Structure 1
C-alpha cells in the first residue's frame, strides 16, 4: 500500500527527525572540519576560540603538572578535570587532533542534551507545538554551535537547564545537584538558587540552597586538601580582574579583552594577582556596582507577581542579566544562557530577533574587530579605526541587555495564567 508523502507540517512536527538532523549536522561538521594543529597554526572547528588554550593547559600533564595541584585556573575544577581526564585517557595517542575530536564529540552530546531540555521545558511552559518550534529555531541559530566548538560552554548550559527542568518538576534534590555541577564548570548556574529563595517557602528554599552549596563545597574539599592556594585562586581570581569589554571598561579606559596571560604563568600562583597590572583600576568600585545590582535585584525580588513556572524561569533569566550588567567584564559565552532563556520566556519573533541581534554584536566584537588588533597586543587604542565601532557595539549590547531585563521584569509583574492554560 502506497503511503501518502509527508507534508511540511508533519516533517517540522517530528522531533525525532530534528534530533537526527541536529546531531548529524554537528558530527558531519566535526568530520569535515577536523581539528588540527599544524606548524603552529590551529585548523578545524576550534579555530578562533579557546579550545587550543584549553589544550595547552591540559597538555601540561606531559610534564607532570596537573590542574589545581600544580597550576591555577580561573574556573572551578570540573572543566579541567574533564579535559585532563580525556587527555590522560588517550595515553600515547594524546595529541591536539585526537583530544579535540573527543572533546568535540562530548560537546555534541551535551548540546544534544541542551536541545532535549529546551524542548522539555518549553513543552511544560507553552505546550508541544511551541516547544517544537523553539527547538527548530535553536537548532538553526549559529551562536550555540560556535560556543560548542570555541568554548565548550555547552556543559555549563546543559546542567543549568537540567537544574531548571527538575526545579519546575519539583525534583528539588536533583535540581540542586545539577545546578551545583554546572557551577563546578563555571560559576553562572549557581545564580539559579535565587529563584528557589523567591518562589518556595523558606524551609524548602533553605534545604535547596544547602544541598546546592553543600555539594559545591564538598567537591572543592579534595582540591583544597591538594593545594589550597590554587583552589582559592579559582574562587576569587575572576572577581579581581580589571574591567574588559563593558561600559565599565570604557569608563576605566581598558580597551581590550579579559584573557589571562601565557600558559607558563599558570604555574606561578602569584601571577594570578599580577596578570593585569597594566590595566587601569576601576573608576566605579566593584562594591558599588554590586551594591546597586543588589538593590535592583531586591526591587525585582519584592515585586514579583507571577508565581508559576514561567515566572520562575523569567526570574532566573533576569537574575543572570543583572549579574552580567554589573560585572566588570563581559564574556560572549554568556550568550549561550541568554539565548535559551530568552527563547523560553519570549517564544515570539521578537525573542528570536533579540537573539540574532546579540549574536551579530558578539561576532562583530570578536572575531571581526578584535582580530584586527594583533599589532597592538589585543588593545583597541582610541586612534585605531575600529575603536569607535567597538564602543558602539559595547553600548548597543548593553542597551539590548537592559531592554531585555526590563521586558523580563514586565513578565514577572504579570499575574500567573489560570491552571491548565498555556497560552497568553
Structure 2
C-alpha cells in the first residue's frame, strides 16, 4: 500500500506541486482578496448572506421562501451560514461566512483541478511526473508545459469566480460525472448517473450528461440499430445501460429532490418559475428586447404570489427559438462521430454546455468557468490561450466595468455580447471539427481564422472605444458629484485675477482636480508641525504665507472638519463672496494689509483702498487692474 502510494506520487509529483500551489493561492485569495477590487463589491456571496439572514426571521426555503436555485445548493449553503454565525462577528460581519463558504467551494474547485487532470490523462495527455534534463551538469526535473491542469491553474476566471460565486460546485459534479462515465472500471457509469443527478440538484447544467451517456453507453441512433440491437440483450447497441442510466438519474433527482425540499413540493420547482420572471439579460435575446440590465429577479424571495403572477416582460417567440435550438442540437447529436473514443463525449459535453448558454435567456459572467474548463482540456495551445484571454477580457469589460462604471453606454454591452457570442459559435465549430472526421480539418481551419478575426475586432474595438468610454466616464462622474454646482460656478468665475483654489481638506483636491486643474492652481494647506504646534495655528500661518495679499477661493465640505477658523477671524481677512450648495461651501477671500494703502474722506464717511492687484503689462495692450475698496 505504501509502496503503491509512493509510486503514484512519483508518477504525478509535478501535478501534486501544481495542486498544492493552486490550492494555497486560492486559499489566501479567499482571505485577502475581494472580487470587484476598488471598483465595487461584486460577489453573490453577499446575496447568499442576506438569504441566510431570512432564516432567523422565520422564513424557510421551499416553505415560505422561493429560490432561484435547485435544493442541494441551499442545503449546503444555509448550514454554513448558521455555523459562521456562531463566531463573534468581525467589524465586517460578512467575513466568517465568506471564509467558511469559500473554503467549502475551495474543496470543489480543488476537485475540479484534479478532475481536469484525470480527464486529460484519459484523453492521452502525459502524467505530470518527472521530466529530467541536464543544466550545467546537474540533473533537474520540471513539469510538462501547457498541460490542461497547468493551463487551468494559471487562469484568472476560475479564481475570481471562486471568490464570489458557487459555480465550482455544479462544475465539479459535471466533470466528476464525465470522469466516471469514461472510467473503465465496472459499474462506474452508474455512479456517473448519481453524480449527474446531484449536479442537477445544484444547477441544471449537469443534466447534459444524460444524452452524452446514452451515446457513450452504446446506443446507436439508426433504423438498423432500432431493428437489430436496441432491444436485444447481448447486442452491443442495446438500450439497457442507457435506460438504466436515465432511470437512475431521474430516480435520484426525484427522490433526492423530494427529500431536500422536505416534501414541500409547492415551491420545489420555483427555480424554473423564477426564470420566467426575468427578462432576457446579457445575451443576444436581451439585445433583441432592448434590455441592457443584468439578470436581476424583479421580485423579493418572500413574495410568493409573484411566482403565480409574473410581471409583464418583453416577449420573444420562445417556442420557435426552442424548436430551432433543439432541432440543431439533435442534428449535431446524430452525426456519425466515433463514440468509442473518449474524446468524443468530452467534446460533445463542451458543445452541449455552449449550446445551452447560447440558447439561454441570459448570461452571467461566472458562466465562463464552465467553458474554460473544456477549453483547457480540448484546446491547450495558442488557440485556446487566445480564446481564454479574449473571453475573460470581455467578461471584465461587461462586469464590473460596464455595469458599475459605464452603465449609460449600452454600446459597450452590445459589443461585448456580440463578440462573445461570435467566439462561442466559433468554438462550437472548432469542437465539431475535433470529432467530425469528414469535415474536421476544414472546420478547424475556419474556426482558427475566425477566432483570430474576432479577437482582432475585440482589440480594435477596445482601442477605438477607449476615448468615448473615457469621456462617458468623466461625464458620469461629474454628474454624480455632489458638488457639481461648485464646478460649474468656478468654471464661470475662472477669469483673472482669481486662479487659486485653497482648502485644508484633501478631499477637495481629489474631487476638484480632475475638472479644474487647467483653470486653477489647487492647493491644500497642511497643519502638521513636527514640534506639535497647534494645527489651527499652522493652518493660519501657512495659508497667510501662501496666499499673501492675493484673492483666492476657499472651498470646503461642511460635513468634514476644517481648521481655518482662526485665519478667518483675523480683521484683515475679508470674505468677498460666499456660496453654498448642500454641504459644499465656496468663499471668495482676500487678505489685505493691516493699514490701508489710501484713505479718503467723503460725505458718506471715509473709504479705504485695501488692496491692488496688477496684471501683466504688455506693449500696446490694456493692463488689468483690480482695486479693493472698503467703506467704514
TM-score range, shorter chain: 0.7 to 0.9
Conserved 8 A contact 2:84-2:100: no
Shift of 1:81: 1.2
Give me the whole-angstrom Cα distance separating, in 2, the residues matched to 1:71 and 1:122: 42
| Pairing 1:410–2:433 present | yes
Structure-1 residue corresponding to 2:345: 312
Equivalent residue, structure 2, for 1:246? 283
Matches within 5 A, 1:229-240: 229-239=266-276
Answer whether contact 1:73 1:233 (CA < 8 A) is retained: yes
Contact 2:146–2:381, Cα closer than 8 Å, also in 1: no
Alpha-carbon spacing, 1:275–1:365, altered in 2? closer, same or farther (3 Å): farther
Q: State the Cα RMSD in Å.
A: 2.6
CA distance in 1 between partners of 2:245 and 2:426 (Å): 31
Q: Tell me, which stretches of 5 or more residues in structure 1 are unaligned?
A: 1-9, 36-41, 374-379, 416-424
Q: Give 2:323's aligned residue.
A: 291
In the alignment, which of 92, 95, 111 is matched to residue 113 of structure 1? 111
Partner of 1:7: none
Report the number of matched residues. 384
Q: CA deviation at 1:84?
A: 0.7
| Residue 361 of structure 1, CA deviation | 0.9
**1:372 Cα deviation from its structure 2 partner:** 2.6
Residues 191 and 320 in structure 1, CA contact (< 8 A), matched pair in contact too: yes
Distance in 2 of aligned mates of 1:257 and 1:90? 30
Q: TM-score under structure 1 normalisation? A: 0.84
State which drifts further: 76-85 or 216-225: 216-225
Q: Which has the higher strand share?
A: 2
Partner of 2:29: 29
Contact 2:71 2:261 in 1 (8 A): no
Partner of 1:266: 301
Larger helix fraction of residues: 1
Residues 147/387 of structure 1: CA separation in 2 closer, same or farther (3 Å cut): same
1:304 deviation in Å? 3.4
Q: Is the 1:369–1:390 Cα contact (8 Å) retained in structure 2?
A: yes
Which residue of the partner structure matches residue 362 of structure 1? 395
TM-score using structure 2 length: 0.57
1:194 alignment partner, one of 211, 224, 231: 211
* Partner in structure 1 of residue 315 of structure 2: 281
Paired with 2:343 and 2:178, the residues of 1 have a C-alpha distance of: 11
**Aligned residues of 1:229 and 1:269 also touching (Cα < 8 A):** no
Tell me if structure 2 keeps the 8 A contact 1:261–1:275. no
Structure 2: distance between partners of 1:331 and 1:339: 14
- Change in 2 beyond 3 A, CA 1:109/1:222: closer
Q: Does 1:393 align with 2:416?
A: yes
131 and 166 in structure 1: CA distance in 2 versus 1, 3 angstrom threshold: farther
Q: Which residue of 2 aligns with 1:179?
A: 196
Map of 1:338-377 to 2, 5 A cutoff?
338-372=371-405
Say if 2:242 is the partner of 1:211: no
User: Does the C-alpha gap of structure 1 residues 258 and 122 become closer, same or farther in structure 2, counting only changes over 3 Å?
Assistant: same
Inter-CA distance 16–276: structure 2 relative to 1 (3 Å threshold):
farther
The reply to whether residue 73 of structure 1 matches residue 77 of structure 2 is no
Q: Map 1:9-48; keep pairs closer than 5 Å.
A: 14-33=14-33, 47-48=41-42
Q: In structure 2, what is the Cα distance between the partners aligned to 1:327 and 1:64?
A: 34
Task: Give the CA deviation at 1:273.
Answer: 5.3
Q: Give the structure with higher Rg (CA).
A: 2
